[in-house]
Amino acid sequence: MDALGRHILVEFYNCSPELMNDVVHIENSMVEAAETAGATVINSTFHHFSPYGVSGVVVIQESHLAIHTWPEYGYAAVDLFTCGETVDPWVSYNFLKEAFKASHGSSMECRRGQQSLLKRTDFTVESRDTGQVVAPIPTITRDVWFTERDENIALSLKHSGNQLYKKQSPYQKVEVFETLAYGNMLTLDGMVMCTQKDEYVYHEMITHVPVFSHGNVKKALVIGGGDGGTVRELLRHEAIEEVVLVEIDELVIEACKLHLPETASAFNHPRLNLLVADGIQYIQDCPDAAFDLIIVDSADPVGPGEGLFTAAFYAEVYRCLTSNGIMITQSESPRFNTKVFVEIYDTYKSIFGAEKVHCYLAAIPTYPTGTWSFSFCSKGEVQPKNFDQTAAAAFSRSQGLRYYNEDIHTAAFALPNFVKDLLSSKA
């Protein structure tokens, strides 16, 4: 060969859009393409971006293979760069064309480092024989990353490359990844819902704050919450006679039973009434004053949860509460989704009255910005800071809670000035 390396610039067209958004499949295919061509793989690093797209590189002893995908176009841009004569990059090209189910591809081969243009210099590296056995090439290191991002901010979590669950329901794509730092992670349409290591923060705060504030919850309703964490925490309270869970997507329940069993541990509890149904329709059909506590444990306000963020829905929730009832929702991050955060609270105030709507915060590492908010809306005279601190403290200790306690209950309602300013705005 009259050059140091061969570089093929590849365009794959009409690929499977689903495969172009599957970081596990792409990483496995790129590694196998390198090995099939006879390359020695050193490591791989791949990122999945939310809502779609994958970037990655496989470093080989002979150079590298790199890719970026545009699933919305069924398109992949690939670089295949090999040095020396032992690896044929066209073998990788043919392998990837089939692996990505591309209808066709185009390519351009460049010869890198033309020998006729190079002049060899005397370049030596001093070495010293230590008598030690030469270490073999290390085992391949494979870095596969899940990334949730918008235009301005991103969260990346490294996972094992082992995708535990992946199914498309009529409503959303349900996936579970095995992450290295946070254990198994549930995502819906590419957004993080919960992980084994930090789900307790969200679920303890969305439940125990309203239960202790109310002081006499007998019947509770959860809309959404198919991971099971919210009902698990509610059912710790023996005084609650019935918990109704209405989840629209049975695949969420299935995925969490299989791969987040600690979160989904209460699905067979005798005081739980589990319904796979539309939460909006359930609220519309619900009798007046049926529940002391209603928790809207929905995903972000996109996809199937979008109807849960309307004034008409919350007016129906208000009707379904007892005279002293409480509604709790997750209400986004005041920094990550500021516009929606403000709009949600303006909606609550128009229904419950401004003096009966309160915001409280919790620190959840795997949610965008790490600062997450919850709403507290009271139909009657319940005030969240007027609660039995002794009972809350005893409960926290006896149940082995990991986040909620009587001090956190009070402190969560102490808001930073920027959040106060947002809640007092008319945005």
List the domain boundaries for the chain: 3-115, 199-424
Consult the annotation and say whether 297 binds a ligand: yes
Is position 83 annotated as part of the catalytic site?
yes
DSSP 24-40: HHHHHHHHHHHHHTT--
Q: Which residues contact 94 (CB under 8 A, 6 or more apart)?
A: none
199-424 matches 3-115 in CATH topology? no
Q: 163-184, pLDDT tens digit by residue? A: 899 999 999 999 999 999 999 9
Question: Among 44, 63, 373, 396, which one carries the catalytic annotation?
Answer: 63
Structural tokens at position 160:
């094992």
Q: Which residue has the higher pLDDT, 149 or 175?
A: 175
For residues 268 and 157, the answer to whether their CB atoms sit within 8 Å is no
Question: Is 170 annotated among the ligand-binding residues?
Answer: no
CA distance 9 to 2: 19
β-pairing verdict for 321-330 and 242-247: unpaired
Catalytic, 297? Answer yes
For residue 300, pLDDT over 60 is answered with no
Beta strand pairing status for 242-247 and 219-224? Answer: parallel
Report the distance separating Cα 17 and Cα 357, nearest Å: 44
Q: Is 63 a catalytic residue?
A: yes
203 known ligand binder: yes
Measure the CA–CA gap between 401 and 404, rounded to whole angstroms: 6
Neighbours of 171 (CB within 10 A): 18
Q: What would the two tokens of residue 88 be?
A: 């044929």
153-157, 243-247, 324-328, range with the lowest pLDDT = 153-157
Question: Per mean pLDDT, which range of 141-150, 199-208, 333-342, 376-385 is the poorest?
Answer: 141-150
Parallel, antiparallel or unpaired: strands 104-114 and 3-13: antiparallel
| pLDDT of 154 | 75
Q: Are strands 104-114 and 183-188 parallel, antiparallel or unpaired?
A: unpaired
- 298 among annotated binding-site residues: yes
Question: What is this structure's pTM?
Answer: 0.77
The arithmetic mean of pLDDT across residues 331-341, rounded, is 88
Q: What is the pLDDT of residue 305?
A: 43
Q: Which of 16, 68, 107, 269 is catalytic?
A: 68
Strand partners, 142: 44
Could you say which of 25, 198, 297, 396 is catalytic? 297
- DSSP per-residue codes, 261-285: TTTTTTTT-TTEEEEES-HHHHHHH
Q: Which amino acid is at 99?
A: A
CATH number for the region 199-424 comes to 3.40.50.150
* 332 vs 225: CA distance, rounded Å: 15
189 is in an annotated binding site: no
Angle, helices 338-352 vs 417-424, to 10°: value is 60
CATH number of 3-115: 3.60.90.10
More confident residue, 151 or 292: 292
Classified as helix, coil or strand, 326 is strand
The residue annotated as part of the active site, out of 22, 47, 64, 83, is 83
